[in-house]
Amino acid sequence: MPHADPLENVAIEALRIVHYPDPVLRKRARPVEHFGPRLQRLAAKMLELMHKEKGVGLAAPQVGLSMQLFVCNASGEPADDLVCVNPSLHDPDGQEEKDEGCLSITGVTVPMRRAVRITLRACDANGRPFEQRGEQLLARVWQHETDHLFGRLIIDSMSEAVRLENRRAIKQLEDDYVKAQGKAKRRSVGRR
């Protein structure tokens, strides 16, 4: 039996990028069961946020929603905006290590070994299935965003040396998160 539409009570226009260590970034995302106007509005909002932050990909957990959806654009050309719902990756080929950053883990870069070429199978925001073969940056983006859907983050792959290099930025993210939670708690108590 399908679940209720998780977007039914979501203020899509109010969504913002969430940052590490927000717990939603560690959850395994649920498959999308409801397609239609709300999902299309969500995808459009995510693309808007991604472009505003000059990113190349953004997964639903990064806007606080634990659902299997990501958007991406590796070229920067508007025609290359891509919405990927319930994605799966297949037929990886080659390996290459390059530095990666993340819109949810600002100020941190991690060398990541990824497949150079990979096949993506997904649905668009209307529920139509598609398949694409991607290479280089596009393949890397698909792998990075798919990791988000399983609660995996680039910091999980840090060597001890890279962890030391990034410790200040990670500590700042953790401190900022704690402060933001305290402010939110004080606001909710003030409304009672």
Angstrom distance (rounded) from CA 20 to CA 174: 7
Residue percentage of the chain with pLDDT more than 70: 94
pLDDT band at 34 (very low <50, low <70, confident <90, very high): very high
Q: How confident is the model at residue 2 (pLDDT cuts 50, 70, 90)?
A: low
Q: What is the pLDDT of residues 69-116, one digit of tens each?
A: 999 999 999 999 999 999 999 999 999 999 999 999 999 999 999 999
Amino acid at 116: V
Looking at residue 4, its pLDDT comes to 77
The two tokens of residue 94 are 């080659």
Averaged pLDDT, 120-138 = 97
Confidence of residue 184 (pLDDT cuts 50, 70, 90): confident
Predicted pLDDT of residue 134:
97
Catalytic pick among 96, 100, 145, 165: 145
Rounded average pLDDT over 152-156: 97
- pLDDT at residue 22 above 70? yes
Q: Copy the structure tokens of residue 85.
A: 């719902």
Active site residue 145: yes
Q: How confident is the model at residue 1 (pLDDT cuts 50, 70, 90)?
A: low
Whole-model pTM? 0.92
Confidence of residue 188 (pLDDT cuts 50, 70, 90): low
Provide the CATH number for the domain formed by 12-190 in this structure.
3.90.45.10
Mean pLDDT of the chain: 94
* HEC secondary structure over 114-143: ECCEEEEEEECCCCCEEEEEEEHHHHHHHH
Domain ranges of the chain: 12-190
